[in-house]
Amino acid sequence: MLVIIKDDYEAVSQEAARLVADRLHKKPSLVLGLATGSTPLGLYRELIRMHADEGLDFSKVTTFNLDEYVGLPPDHPQSYHRFMRENFFDHINADPRFVHIPDGMVTEIEAHCQWYEAEIERSGGIDLQVLGIGANGHIAFNEPGSSLGSRTRVKTLSRATREDNARFFRSIDEVPRHAITMGIGTILEAQDVLLMACGDQKAAAIQAAVEGPLTASAPASMIQMHRNAFVIVDRAAASRLSDEHATALEEAVLFRRPISGSHPDTA
């Protein structure tokens, strides 16, 4: 795992965008796993800028989003379909045929989840998966207690997650109770995972993910099992990490360890 600690949200977003752009330059037909939420907004803004200013090309990219609320139609202001269109896809040149987001309105949910998994497999597997983290340690909507080998399925959202996300709705009662989400097993099969977090409200979750025991109580701790995990955080989100990780940061900064190639020197 490579922990990279940056000064602030902007720097986190730029570092994450550099990693995505690097992978895209190396493989124009990249299979990119995408996340929603406040955290990746800066990453998307920077990728949109790179597309406009530097011609970063998404035309051959295949994307898979992590999750979607059950019961929200694609045009609902809080659906993740709409989020992705407004914050990313409307501003780049991704081919809509290669864009995948779980459909929260399907009636045959289980069959849809199986289809989603099969599509990931048909694409050759996800090359790079972008992840946020919940204050309760969830990744995608894999809430604490989720099976560590889980696949795409319906999950009941925890009270904590619904309270966190209530800020986007008129009241907590409007926050959906269920979501379709990639499983932890699905996520861990990505070649690279990029976990981003900012702010001190994420510090405990980042500590548990990076240094805590492997436990279903902190689903993000499973990234410790991944061979190519990048954790890009700001100083506030890193504030509870031990000195070793703080030191790892300084080394990463000092030696400008390339985040593009393989990194056999990282644990």
CA 226 to chain centre: 14
How many residues bind to ligand PGA according to rule CB under 6 A? 6
Interacting stretch for ligand PGA, rule CB under 6 A, among 10-18, 81-89, 130-138, 175-183? 130-138
Residue 42 sits in the site that holds ligand PGA (CB under 6 A): no
Q: Which is nearer to ligand PGA, 132 or 144 (CB)?
A: 132
Query: Quick check: 214 and 176 in contact, CB under 8 A?
Result: no
User: Of 132 and 183, which has the nearer Cβ to ligand PGA?
Assistant: 132
Report CA-CA distances (Å) from 85 to 143, 153, 161, 197, 223: 26, 23, 23, 22, 28
Return the amino acid letter for 168.
Answer: F
Instruction: Give least dist CB 7 to ligand PGA, A.
Output: 19
Quote the DSSP letter at residue 214. Answer: P
- In the structure encoding, which two tokens stand for residue 206, read together? 């980042």
Query: Closer to ligand PGA at the Cβ: 12 or 61?
Result: 12
Of 104 and 134, the one with the shorter C-beta distance to ligand PGA is 134
By CB under 6 A, the residues from 133 to 192 that bind ligand PGA are 133-134
Which residues are catalytically annotated?
Answer: 67, 136, 138, 143
Give CA angle at 152 (41, 58), nearest 5°: 40
Taking the C-alpha atoms of residue 85 and residue 90, their distance in angstroms, rounded to an integer, is: 5
Contact residue for ligand PGA among 33, 104, 132, 144 (CB under 6 A): 132
- Contact with ligand PGA (CB under 6 A): which of 1, 4, 30, 39? 39
SS3 state at 196: strand
| Choice between 175 and 248, CB closer to ligand PGA | 175
CA–CA distance, 236 with 176 (Å, rounded to integer)? 30
Alpha-carbon dihedral sign for residues 221, 23, 182, 115: negative
Does the footprint of ligand PGA cover residue 38 (CB under 6 A)? yes
Q: Point out which span in 36-44, 105-113, 169-177, 241-249 binds ligand PGA (CB under 6 A).
A: 36-44
Segment contacting ligand PGA (CB under 6 A): 53-61, 132-140, 148-156, 253-261?
A: 132-140
At 135, list the tokens. Answer: 């204050």
Interface with ligand PGA by CB under 6 A: which residues? Answer: 37-39, 132-134
